[in-house]
Amino acid sequence: MSLTDLLKNNSQPAPDNKDYDAPGKPAADPLQRVADSDYNESGVFILPGAYVCVIDVTKTATSRKGDFLWIVRLEILESSITERPAGTRMDYIANFKHDPTPGNVKGFIAAAMGCPPEDVTYEATKLVASASNPLHGRMVRVEATQIKTKANTDFTKVSFRTIPDDMQEQCAAYREAVGFAPF
Protein backbone atom coordinates (compact mmCIF):
# COMPACT_ATOMS: atom_id res chain seq x y z
CA MET A 1 0.00 0.00 0.00
CA SER A 2 1.34 3.41 -0.92
CA LEU A 3 1.57 6.29 1.54
CA THR A 4 -1.11 8.13 -0.49
CA ASP A 5 -3.49 5.15 -0.18
CA LEU A 6 -2.76 4.86 3.53
CA LEU A 7 -3.62 8.51 4.06
CA LYS A 8 -6.85 8.23 1.98
CA ASN A 9 -8.05 5.09 3.78
CA ASN A 10 -7.19 6.16 7.33
CA SER A 11 -10.21 6.99 9.47
CA GLN A 12 -8.19 7.74 12.60
CA PRO A 13 -7.64 11.44 13.36
CA ALA A 14 -4.06 12.66 13.48
CA PRO A 15 -2.74 13.34 16.98
CA ASP A 16 -3.27 16.88 18.19
CA ASN A 17 0.05 18.45 19.03
CA LYS A 18 -1.33 21.75 20.29
CA ASP A 19 0.95 21.52 23.35
CA TYR A 20 3.85 22.50 21.11
CA ASP A 21 2.36 25.94 20.52
CA ALA A 22 2.04 26.61 24.24
CA PRO A 23 4.26 29.26 25.90
CA GLY A 24 7.77 27.95 26.50
CA LYS A 25 7.43 25.23 23.83
CA PRO A 26 8.98 25.22 20.34
CA ALA A 27 6.91 27.21 17.86
CA ALA A 28 6.53 24.40 15.31
CA ASP A 29 4.88 21.05 15.84
CA PRO A 30 7.72 18.44 15.65
CA LEU A 31 5.66 16.34 13.25
CA GLN A 32 5.30 19.32 10.89
CA ARG A 33 9.04 19.85 11.14
CA VAL A 34 9.46 16.24 9.86
CA ALA A 35 7.24 16.97 6.87
CA ASP A 36 9.09 20.22 6.12
CA SER A 37 12.61 18.82 6.51
CA ASP A 38 15.08 17.58 3.90
CA TYR A 39 15.91 13.88 3.99
CA ASN A 40 19.56 13.25 4.77
CA GLU A 41 20.95 10.05 3.26
CA SER A 42 24.45 10.52 4.60
CA GLY A 43 26.09 7.26 5.45
CA VAL A 44 29.26 5.89 6.90
CA PHE A 45 32.45 7.73 5.99
CA ILE A 46 35.54 6.06 4.58
CA LEU A 47 38.24 5.17 7.11
CA PRO A 48 41.91 4.78 6.17
CA GLY A 49 42.41 1.34 4.66
CA ALA A 50 42.07 -0.63 1.44
CA TYR A 51 38.77 -1.88 0.06
CA VAL A 52 37.20 -3.59 -2.90
CA CYS A 53 33.75 -2.06 -3.37
CA VAL A 54 30.80 -2.17 -5.68
CA ILE A 55 29.25 1.16 -6.67
CA ASP A 56 25.61 1.48 -5.66
CA VAL A 57 24.79 5.10 -6.53
CA THR A 58 26.68 8.05 -7.96
CA LYS A 59 24.88 11.38 -7.63
CA THR A 60 25.18 15.04 -6.79
CA ALA A 61 23.51 16.94 -3.97
CA THR A 62 23.56 20.28 -2.21
CA SER A 63 24.76 20.41 1.39
CA ARG A 64 22.89 22.22 4.16
CA LYS A 65 25.36 25.08 3.65
CA GLY A 66 24.59 25.23 -0.07
CA ASP A 67 27.78 23.52 -1.27
CA PHE A 68 27.68 21.31 -4.39
CA LEU A 69 28.58 17.70 -3.48
CA TRP A 70 29.60 14.63 -5.46
CA ILE A 71 28.43 11.49 -3.66
CA VAL A 72 29.29 7.85 -4.32
CA ARG A 73 27.56 5.20 -2.22
CA LEU A 74 29.71 2.07 -2.05
CA GLU A 75 29.15 -1.42 -0.69
CA ILE A 76 32.28 -3.05 0.67
CA LEU A 77 33.12 -6.50 -0.74
CA GLU A 78 36.56 -6.79 0.88
CA SER A 79 38.20 -4.65 3.55
CA SER A 80 41.58 -4.39 5.23
CA ILE A 81 40.11 -3.01 8.45
CA THR A 82 37.70 -4.54 10.96
CA GLU A 83 35.71 -1.30 11.48
CA ARG A 84 34.44 -1.52 7.88
CA PRO A 85 33.70 -5.20 7.19
CA ALA A 86 32.31 -6.66 3.96
CA GLY A 87 28.66 -5.74 3.52
CA THR A 88 29.05 -2.26 5.03
CA ARG A 89 27.85 0.67 2.95
CA MET A 90 29.98 3.78 2.98
CA ASP A 91 29.91 7.11 1.18
CA TYR A 92 32.59 9.02 -0.66
CA ILE A 93 31.58 12.68 -0.53
CA ALA A 94 33.56 15.34 -2.39
CA ASN A 95 32.74 19.00 -1.84
CA PHE A 96 33.24 21.28 -4.84
CA LYS A 97 34.19 24.20 -2.60
CA HIS A 98 37.64 22.56 -2.46
CA ASP A 99 40.00 23.06 -5.41
CA PRO A 100 41.08 19.38 -5.80
CA THR A 101 37.50 18.07 -6.08
CA PRO A 102 37.07 18.21 -9.90
CA GLY A 103 40.30 16.24 -10.37
CA ASN A 104 39.32 13.76 -7.67
CA VAL A 105 35.94 13.21 -9.33
CA LYS A 106 37.67 12.76 -12.69
CA GLY A 107 39.95 10.16 -11.08
CA PHE A 108 36.95 8.30 -9.65
CA ILE A 109 35.14 8.20 -13.01
CA ALA A 110 38.29 7.09 -14.85
CA ALA A 111 38.91 4.30 -12.32
CA ALA A 112 35.30 3.14 -12.33
CA MET A 113 35.19 3.06 -16.15
CA GLY A 114 38.73 1.78 -16.65
CA CYS A 115 39.57 4.64 -19.01
CA PRO A 116 42.26 7.31 -19.15
CA PRO A 117 41.37 10.50 -17.24
CA GLU A 118 41.46 12.52 -20.46
CA ASP A 119 38.45 10.49 -21.69
CA VAL A 120 36.29 11.88 -18.86
CA THR A 121 34.29 14.64 -20.55
CA TYR A 122 31.66 17.05 -19.29
CA GLU A 123 28.96 14.92 -20.95
CA ALA A 124 30.32 11.73 -19.37
CA THR A 125 30.43 13.38 -15.94
CA LYS A 126 26.80 14.51 -16.25
CA LEU A 127 25.77 11.01 -17.35
CA VAL A 128 27.57 9.34 -14.44
CA ALA A 129 25.71 11.57 -11.95
CA SER A 130 22.34 11.19 -13.68
CA ALA A 131 19.31 9.22 -12.51
CA SER A 132 20.22 6.45 -14.98
CA ASN A 133 23.08 5.60 -12.56
CA PRO A 134 25.28 3.89 -15.20
CA LEU A 135 28.06 2.98 -12.74
CA HIS A 136 25.73 0.90 -10.54
CA GLY A 137 27.31 -2.53 -10.10
CA ARG A 138 30.82 -1.54 -11.20
CA MET A 139 33.62 -2.50 -8.84
CA VAL A 140 36.50 -0.27 -7.77
CA ARG A 141 39.44 -0.57 -5.46
CA VAL A 142 39.42 2.17 -2.83
CA GLU A 143 42.58 3.25 -1.03
CA ALA A 144 42.21 5.71 1.83
CA THR A 145 45.11 7.29 3.70
CA GLN A 146 45.06 9.78 6.55
CA ILE A 147 47.12 12.91 5.85
CA LYS A 148 47.59 16.32 7.47
CA THR A 149 46.17 19.37 5.74
CA LYS A 150 47.93 22.72 5.47
CA ALA A 151 45.92 23.73 8.57
CA ASN A 152 47.42 20.68 10.35
CA THR A 153 44.09 18.84 10.63
CA ASP A 154 43.54 15.19 9.79
CA PHE A 155 42.03 14.42 6.39
CA THR A 156 41.30 11.08 4.72
CA LYS A 157 42.62 11.15 1.15
CA VAL A 158 40.69 8.70 -1.00
CA SER A 159 41.97 7.27 -4.29
CA PHE A 160 40.19 4.90 -6.65
CA ARG A 161 41.81 2.17 -8.74
CA THR A 162 40.45 0.29 -11.73
CA ILE A 163 39.31 -3.31 -11.49
CA PRO A 164 39.62 -4.67 -15.05
CA ASP A 165 36.48 -5.61 -16.97
CA ASP A 166 37.40 -9.31 -17.14
CA MET A 167 37.58 -9.43 -13.32
CA GLN A 168 34.26 -7.54 -13.08
CA GLU A 169 32.65 -10.15 -15.37
CA GLN A 170 34.17 -13.07 -13.40
CA CYS A 171 32.79 -11.65 -10.17
CA ALA A 172 29.32 -11.20 -11.69
CA ALA A 173 29.37 -14.79 -13.02
CA TYR A 174 30.51 -16.13 -9.63
CA ARG A 175 27.74 -14.25 -7.81
CA GLU A 176 25.17 -15.65 -10.23
CA ALA A 177 26.57 -19.20 -9.88
CA VAL A 178 26.26 -19.18 -6.10
CA GLY A 179 22.81 -17.62 -6.15
CA PHE A 180 23.52 -14.02 -5.12
CA ALA A 181 21.49 -11.25 -6.69
CA PRO A 182 23.36 -9.21 -9.30
CA PHE A 183 24.77 -5.87 -8.21
What is the rounded CA–CA span in Å between residue 20 and residue 107?
A: 50
According to DSSP, the residues that pair with 160 across neighbouring strands are 142
pLDDT digits (tens, 9 = 90+) for 102-143: 999 999 999 999 999 999 999 999 999 999 999 999 999 999
SS3 call for 173: helix
What is the rounded CA–CA span in Å between residue 91 and residue 131?
A: 17
Q: The pTM is what?
A: 0.73
pLDDT digits (tens, 9 = 90+) for 60-76: 998 889 999 999 999 99
According to DSSP, the residues that pair with 140 across neighbouring strands are 53, 162
